[in-house]
Amino acid sequence: MLIHVTQTDTHLIEQITLSIRVKIRYAHTSLFEILKSSWENKEISAREAARQLGVNHRTFLSWIRKGQWREK
């Protein structure tokens, strides 16, 4: 099966993909902040916070130390 994709189609796909990534990053940032707060209040462990973010606990702690997080 051969699919013909025009320049306009490609641009539209890129715009939709970017929009989805921005929304996912915003949601993930909110989750990180919630988990960070829970960890700071000793409600959850770093391992549990990291598990919920889908990263290693060392990565979670690194993000805390650096004051930033990165998309997985």
pLDDT greater at residue 72 or residue 54? 54
In the three-class reduction of DSSP (H, G, I as helix; E, B as strand; rest coil), residue 70 is classed as: coil
Residue 18 has pLDDT above 60, yes or no: yes
In the three-class reduction of DSSP (H, G, I as helix; E, B as strand; rest coil), residue 1 is classed as: coil
- Domain ranges in the chain? 23-72
Dump pLDDT digits (tens) for 29-51.
Answer: 678 888 999 999 999 999 999 99
Which tokens is 32 given? 């990180």
Residue 19 has pLDDT above 80, yes or no: no
Q: In the chain, pLDDT over 70 holds for what percent of residues?
A: 74
pLDDT greater at residue 56 or residue 15? 56
At residue 41, the pLDDT reads 95
Which tokens is 56 given? 């290693």
Element (H, E) at 36: helix 7-40
- Distance between CA atoms of residues 46 and 54, nearest Å: 12
